[in-house]
Amino acid sequence: MIAGRLQTRTSEDIEIRALSGCQWRVIDRRIARNNALCLVGFINKNHGQYEVMEFLDPVERTIFPSLDGAISSFVNSPSTIIDYST
């Protein structure tokens, strides 16, 4: 059986990857890159604002005035870490 445990992300847990000059992918470093669950969201700059799409249940979309604010929204956000060892 695969078990999940809820943990809170810290700033060290996330990695921001630029896809273009106005789009970023947000990855949870605690999850293997070959696991699709490592992708936790996207940030998109549109008309001077930053739209965050975070893959929660349900998916959440939030607008921030700065990139730093958008990135910070992924910190202290609950995330489920899957334990494949059980």
Query: Is residue 60 within a helix (H) or strand (E), and if so which, with residue range?
Result: strand 60-64
Residue pair 37/57 in contact by the 8 Å Cβ criterion? no
* pTM score: 0.81
Cα–Cα distance, 49 to 52 (Å, whole number): 10
Alpha helices of 1-86 — where are they, by DSSP H? 67-72
- Give the model confidence (pLDDT) of 31-86 as tens digits: 888 988 889 999 999 999 999 999 877 888 999 999 999 999 998 776 655 554 44
- Give the model confidence (pLDDT) of 9-43 as tens digits: 889 999 999 999 999 999 999 888 898 888 999 99
Q: Which residues 6+ apart lie within 8 Å of 40 measured at CB?
A: 9, 14, 26, 27, 28, 54, 55, 74, 77, 79
